[in-house]
Structure 1
Amino acid sequence: MSLPIARDPGLQPERTALSWTRTALVVAVNALLALRTGLLHGEAWLIAAGVVLVAAASAVAAVGTVRRRQLEAGVYAPHPLLIMAVAAATVAAAAAGIASVLISEPQR
């Protein structure tokens, strides 16, 4: 009869928790860029994208807090839908950030 081997995660849980924080921060920065550009240029769609991204950044930060607690408890695998949702928020943030940079001055 063999005994179960204890898993030594090393620093992986800490790195994973930090990555959730970085992702939330990046989404929040892109949200602020989108909001700023939308307000300066009167682009309603960019303002709406910024508001959605603020909510997404808050959700990613909340999920990061939950994941940090799960990692401390020894739950290492996140739910696949969670990963897809965060990936979608990251892609949306990148698209809004690119759009906010590419918006040109309105013609006068």
Structure 2
Amino acid sequence: MPRDPGLQPERTSLAWSRTGLAIAVNAVLALRSGFSSEQPALAVAGVALFVLAAVAVAHGTVRRRQLDARHEPVPPSPVVMLGVAATVLLAALAGIISISIEATR
């Protein structure tokens, strides 16, 4: 019996888009704090987060196409999941640092 993917491809794509948006919001915070407090490392982290946000959205598009094309479950790549974990950690740290910089002003 063929597998019915239902709405899984759409949900997966939307989840990756939301993840990319959350990373982009942290990038804005990091850039703003980096430029306003003249801390280039934080600004560089913001630029890196913007790039990683674009990668997350692009991966969501690829993942949706994978799920649409196949009729059996497609497990996510462990390398991609490790990259997402590292990106989320970087975004969280940049967000915490930027908020603490703004709070000390």
The two structures have a TM-score, normalised by structure 2, of: 0.87
The structure with the largest alpha-carbon Rg is: 1
Q: Residue 98 of structure 1: CA displacement? A: 1.1
Q: Which whole-Å deviations, capped at 9, do the CAs of 1:57-94 have from their partners, x for residues lacking one?
A: 11111111111111111263221111111121111111
Residues in 1 aligned to 2:76 and 2:99: alpha-carbon distance in whole angstroms: 33
Residues in 2 aligned to 1:43 and 1:63: alpha-carbon distance in whole angstroms: 31
How much identity, in percent, do the aligned residues show?
51
Structure 2 residues not aligned, in runs of 5+: none
Give the SS at the match of 2:80.
helix
Aligned length: 101
Equivalence for 1:29:
25
Work out whether 1:39 is the aligned partner of 2:35.
yes
Equivalence for 1:87:
85
Structure 1 residues not aligned, in runs of 5+: none
Residues in 1 aligned to 2:93 and 2:69: alpha-carbon distance in whole angstroms: 35
Q: Residue 50 of structure 1: CA displacement? A: 0.5
Mapped contact 2:5–2:67 kept (Cα < 8 A): no
Residues in 2 aligned to 1:96 and 1:24: alpha-carbon distance in whole angstroms: 15
The alignment's C-alpha RMSD in Å is 1.4
Residues in 1 aligned to 2:4 and 2:58: alpha-carbon distance in whole angstroms: 26
Equivalence for 1:49:
45
Which 10-residue stretch deviates more, 67-76 or 95-104? Answer: 67-76
5 Å-filtered alignment, 1:1-108, equals: 5-74=1-70, 76-103=74-101, 104-105=104-105
Give the SS at the match of 1:42.
coil
Residues in 1 aligned to 2:11 and 2:57: alpha-carbon distance in whole angstroms: 15
Residues in 2 aligned to 1:72 and 1:97: alpha-carbon distance in whole angstroms: 35
